Structure 1
Amino acid sequence: MLESVVRKLIASKREGEHWDFKVKHHDNNADLLHDLLCLANSLYQGRRYLIFGVEDPAKGANVVGLSSVEPGRKSQANYIDFIRNQHFAGSIRPEVELETLVLDGKEIDVLVIFDNPYKPYWLTQDYQDRGRKVMAHHVYTRVGDTNTPLNSSADLLRIEKMWRQRLGLDMLPVERMKHLLGQPEEWFKDLGNKRYAYHQNFPDYRIKFSAPEPFWEPYSYFFTNKNSFLGTATFKLNSTTLFELDYVYLDEMRLMLPAPDVDYVELPDRDLRYYFYDMSTAEGRFLIFLTEGRGRMESRGSTSPFLIFKHENERQAFNEFLVANAARFEEAQASYAARHAAELMRKEGNAAAISPLDIDKVVVLYEAWRQGPVRDL
């Protein structure tokens, strides 16, 4: 978890290519933007961290903490709005999340910068704040514990490596397939008519779809037509199978989605299961592919009762929310679609460990969790 990662970084008594300590939040937004760009463009493969409330390693990297009324202390919403308002090339921006931790009785903030395959990030317009300027069309990065100076740009070799990562050229075949699934517009496919697809720029990467067979799950009954079908998609590089995933047709083949995963949560008085996609996994990338990047899970006014999480940490945070709100779960009202699904299953004698009423009530809490105060993960 994040706390153990941060403790190890602090214990190292140094800074590195994917983490930087700050005694307090930035009081100059040009310096903030510069630090964000440098970490986002680091060649390190993994998450990067701006850690606020920790002294510089030269002073011992001690945890000094942050005050709740400290001038300049920012929330996640502040950071997201700040990034959104910058002129990034192609409107492609770093993704961040802010989490507050308590270490040794002191609050610190950790801004997590995700390692998405979109670097290099750069600005198309200069950004200036009180004499400090982040320059347009400059690519900033971090080498070791050192940022590219404001008036410079990264070495061409490093920029080339960023582009290779962005294009997936340095990935192993399995990871590259997952990367290419995130480009649904680049594939030749005629889903429902042809049982194959291939990437138009890299045609050695192909998908073979088996003939689907009738099956049912509780979510089948949420649709106007309960008939559903299950098949297997085989992801191949030439003749080599990289991995396989199941797919489902819902509403009499009107909607095609990856077969969702199932999670299990122990509430105080009962066990609970629900369906979900983790967008950091192959199933999540397959969802992007099948829905043309829109994540559409509706058909004829009916919606799949599937939850979507960015990554495992987000799912775990929601599970904690579920447990903490067990009473709220019991009080939630299931929709007509869920009640109708439960009645149809009962009439047909189809019993399952997952109740349509329960998964619909989980959706209710999920929507409340999403719409509530920002939860930093």
Structure 2
Amino acid sequence: MCDYGNKRGKYAKKEIIRLIELRQEGAYWDFKREWYSKGQKADLLHDIICMANNLQNKDAYIIIGINEENNYEVESVLEDINRWNTQKLVDFLKDKKFAGDERPIVYVESIKVFDGIIDIIIIKNSNDTPYYLKESYRKVSANNIYTRIMDTNTPKNKSADIIHVEFLWRKRFRLLSPPLEQVHYYLKKSEDWIDSPTNYETKKKYNKYHPEFSIEYTLEDNGSAYQYYLFNQTDIRPHWNEIRIYYHQTLLFTCEGINLDGGRYLTPVPETSGISIDSISKWDIIFKYFIKNTLLYEIHRFYYVPDGDEADSSHNRFMESVLLFNSKEELENFKEYVLVNWNRSNINREDIWTPHFPDIEGYHMEQFKKEFIDVQILQKMLIQFRKSE
């Protein structure tokens, strides 16, 4: 009934056992002897909100199947008629009116411990705190911000102390995070960045609300290095640069960038991976990719300014040549999928459109063409892979 070995986030079994062996509840974990009954849905919602707003900045656990009154012994949940799975729990939260439509990320996993099966409601740590309702649900009040202090939840008819509410808001705005995590967040709002006066070779922006953070790129016009995705542009000449992010005068991050299509569109260079189909020692298939929510991808989004014209066209042609994954886990699972299904694929290479690959001295142009075609096949397989999930 519940999710065994859930792919979305394998909790640490040793951690759960350690918490049980402590024989006490804590700031980010709670014990229940059995699942919540139909009449206890408000208690379930209240507990989840308190855990999502925990002050430890950690994933939280509601561990079901532990009898506190009997020396924290395991009472198996297998026969529990009120047992829920992940989908039912997600649907339950989806119907509730959360402020900003931000809901805790939760799922249910089951493990065998001490000769019994227990369920764990896992509430993922998030920066979207504080979670609270904009419309009351039974006795869970609208606009009350709940949290958990030691082993005690904020009562349903009260709100957390202001010092704890402030902590949760500071967490949302990344003020508790190290500088690199903060700038990752600030880059999501490109409209908050202003051009800084610089020389011709360097293009710099700073955040108008947090001017200690800046991002710049330096032109390093090297026309001798090509990649397969360049040939999908109108102007195939490469214009490489270096992108740098600073906190005050401290360099936080650097990566290689490229101005595509004669400088119409700037992007960081995507990452490289590959798959070994017929060879152990080398990749038979090579592809470029981004992963959503990574710093590299946020820089990619930051520099893309839709204009309804040339920048859009350059961006779209570039993304036709690059794979975009939702997570690192999806990337790895997709590679396994391709390894099994590549030779079974009925996608005809001859039917795939390719741009012109001119002869360039010192380059094996057929290899560039192969890489371009391989990525078009992978794009189609990625669609099939997601449908099969």
Which among 255, 278, 291 is matched to residue 278 of structure 1? 291
Conserved in 2, the CA contact under 8 Å of 1:224 and 1:300?
no
Give the letter aligned to residue 45 of structure 1.
Answer: N
Deviations 1:144-172 (A, max 9, x none): 23222212211111111111222222333
Alignment equivalent of 1:303, drawn from 320, 328, 342: 320
The 5 A counterparts of 1:144-223 are 144-189=150-195, 195-211=203-219, 213=221, 214=223, 215-223=225-233
Q: Which residue of 1 aligns with 2:268?
A: 258
1:139 matched to 2:151: no
Q: Among residues 37, 47, 51, which one is paired with 1:35 in the alignment?
A: 47
Tell me the equivalent position of 2:376: 360
1:230 aligns with 2:240: yes
Q: Distance in 2 between matches of 1:46 and 1:136?
A: 25
Distance 1:177 1:353, change over 3 A: farther
Cα shift readout 1:149-198 (whole Å, capped 9, x = no counterpart): 212211111111111222222333223222222332322259xx981111
Unaligned runs of 5+ in 1: none
Tell whether 2:13 aligns with 1:6.
yes
Give the match for residue 344 of structure 1. 357
| Contact preservation (8 Å) 1:89, 1:124 | yes
Cα distance in 2, alignment partners of residues 86 and 26 from structure 1: 17
Distance 1:197 1:7, change over 3 A: same
- Is the CA contact 1:322–1:329 (under 8 Å) kept in the aligned structure 2? no
Q: Does 1:240 align with 2:241?
A: no
1:330 aligns with 2:348: no
Distance 1:248 1:301, change over 3 A: closer
Aligned CA distance change for structure 1 residues 65 and 307 (closer, same or farther; 3 Å)? farther
C-alpha separation in 2, matches of 1:160 and 1:364: 47
Q: Percent identity between the aligned chains?
A: 23
Moved more, 138-147 or 12-21: 12-21
C-alpha contact 1:342 1:357 (8 A) present in aligned 2: no
Which amino acid is 1:83 matched to? L
Secondary structure of the structure 1 residue equivalent to 2:144: coil
Once residues 105 and 300 of structure 2 are traced to their aligned partners in structure 1, the CA distance between those partners, rounded to angstroms, is 20
Alpha-carbon spacing, 1:112–1:238, altered in 2? closer, same or farther (3 Å): same
Where do 5+ consecutive residues of structure 2 fail to align? 1-6, 307-311
The answer to whether 1:103 aligns with 2:112 is: yes
Q: TM-score, normalised by structure 2?
A: 0.75
Question: How many angstroms apart in 2 are the aligned matches of 1:60 and 1:352?
Answer: 66
Q: Deviations over 1:50-92 (max 9, x none)?
A: 445x42455455555554995442333x343333332222223
Instruction: Give the drift of 1:346.
Output: 8.7
Tell whether the 8 Å contact from 2:289 to 2:323 is kept in structure 1 after alignment. Answer: yes
Contact 1:251 1:299 in 2 (8 A): no
Secondary structure, counterpart of 1:210 in structure 2:
strand
- With over 3 angstroms needed to count, the CA separation of the structure-2 counterparts of 1:301 and 1:148, relative to structure 1, is same
- Identify the match of residue 44 of structure 1 among 56, 68, 77: 56
Q: Would the aligned equivalents of 1:223 and 1:250 in 2 still touch at CA under 8 Å?
A: yes
TM-score by length of 1: 0.77
Q: 1:245 to 1:106 in 2, by over 3 A?
A: farther
Count the aligned residue pairs: 358
Q: Give, as a single letter, the amino acid of the residue that structure 1 aligns with 2:147.
A: T
On the 8 A contact 2:52/2:60 being kept in 1, the answer is: yes
Question: Which of residues 93, 96, 103 in structure 2 aligns to 1:93?
Answer: 103
Letter in 1 for 2:165: I
| Alpha-carbon distance change, 30 to 196 in structure 1, aligned in 2, over 3 angstroms | same
Matched with 1:73 is: 84
| In 1: Cα distance, 2:45 partner to 2:204 partner | 44
SS at match of 1:344: coil
